[in-house]
Amino acid sequence: MKFVDEAIIKVEAGDGGNGCVSFRREKYIPKGGPDGGDGGDGGHVILVGDEGLNTLVDFRHKRLHRAERGQNGMSRQMYGHKGATLYVRVPVGTRVRDLDTDEIIGEILEEGQEMLVARGGKHGLGNIHFKSSTNRAPRQSTNGTPGEKRNLSLELIVLADVGLLGMPNAGKSSLIAKMSHARPKVADYPFTTLYPNLGVVNLGQGRSFVIADIPGVIEGAAEGAGLGLQFLKHLSRTRLVLHLVDIAPLDENLNPADEVRQLIAEVEKYGGDLADRERWLVLTKKDLLLDEEFEEKKERLLAELDWKGPVFAVSSVTGEGVDELAQALMRHIESFEEPSEDAEAEDETPYDPTRT
């Protein structure tokens, strides 16, 4: 199925039913008085989170979603039935925005979570409500009010604990395939990833986390080059970003430090708080270098970047360093969880992701 993470739809709640003007007409009961009933309320439009959906592709084919109108009132004081509420299922992680006001209405973050996006119209009143001592045969009634109509932008943002960031061919897809059961396309040329991939890293005994891979970001992405900038929003909900750097590029003239600075510059142009998100450096393709050569390139890179954060080195081919990285990520994610009442401040030392 094609991955689609943006869609524009129109939602229309049902109008309220009109009130009825009617008079009781029965044999032997002359001048029976008004008996027109009220109309029914219009149906709402409600979005519902569904974990079974992972794309907005269905909304590219069906853009109009309309709830049922309330039934008009009838004689004999019979009220019209309410319009049925329309439930529209969307993937968990969907952000909803009003296109006309640019207001963010909310986000669907849980299975079964409901969001009212268009309220149905109110019912009209029948003439039984207008009877009085001075107006015994009212011919007044009211019409139902129109239901809300809105143009909505749906934006799917994948839910993950860890996000992978890097230039094309930095080894992101290979790493997520090695750490999890995800099977993204892996090839020896850039831009093999065309849409986000999610993988679950399972470390046993109920310890797991979700990792997201997005297309590589290239220089000029802020001006529309490549695909990566389009998908950077998928890292906005992650707790941690892994910045993957190819430590052994095929082109010997490429400087990994320059690539790191270029990518960060593009992320800063993208805006938001992504540039301030906690970031670990992961040096990939370690197996292509001898130990001495790797250490030399590593020290040069860290010196040029003046890097003070955590650093890991991995090889997705041999698996070297992958388990160590996964364990460190798991400990870091668990450190976000609130401690139980029985375990108050057992360890007050700052968190170190490299400790075992």
pLDDT over threshold 90, residue 198:
no
Q: Is the pLDDT of residue 123 over 90?
A: yes
Confidence band for 340, pLDDT divided at 50, 70 and 90: very low
**The model scores a pTM over 0.75:** no
pLDDT for 183: 59
Question: Mind listing the pLDDT tens digit for each residue in 303-312?
Answer: 999 998 899 9
Judging by beta carbons within 10 Å of its beta carbon (0-12, 13-18, 19+), is residue 129 exposed, middle or buried?
Answer: middle
Q: For all residues of the chain together, what is the average pLDDT? A: 82
In the structure, what pLDDT confidence band is assigned to residue 134 with cuts at 50, 70 and 90?
confident
pLDDT of residue 185: 46
> How confident is the model at residue 272, as a pLDDT?
63
Token output for 20: 């009825």
Q: What is the mean pLDDT of residues 41-56?
A: 91
- The distance from CA 99 to its chain's CA centroid, rounded to whole angstroms, is 17
User: Is the pLDDT score of 314 beyond 80?
Assistant: yes
Q: Where are the alpha helices (DSSP H) in the chain?
A: 58-61, 172-179, 228-231, 256-270, 291-305, 322-334
Tell me what the mean pLDDT of segment 274-295 comes to.
Answer: 88
| DSSP string of 313-342, one letter each residue | E--TTT-TTHHHHHHHHHHHHHTTSPPPTT
Question: Structure tokens of 197?
Answer: 């991939």
Confidence at residue 262, expressed as pLDDT on a 0 to 100 scale:
85
> In which band, very low, low, confident or very high, does the pLDDT at 203 lie, cut at 50, 70 and 90?
confident
**Who has greater pLDDT, 333 or 45?**
45
pLDDT at 111: 92
Nearest in space to 48 (alpha carbons), one of 88, 12, 84: 88
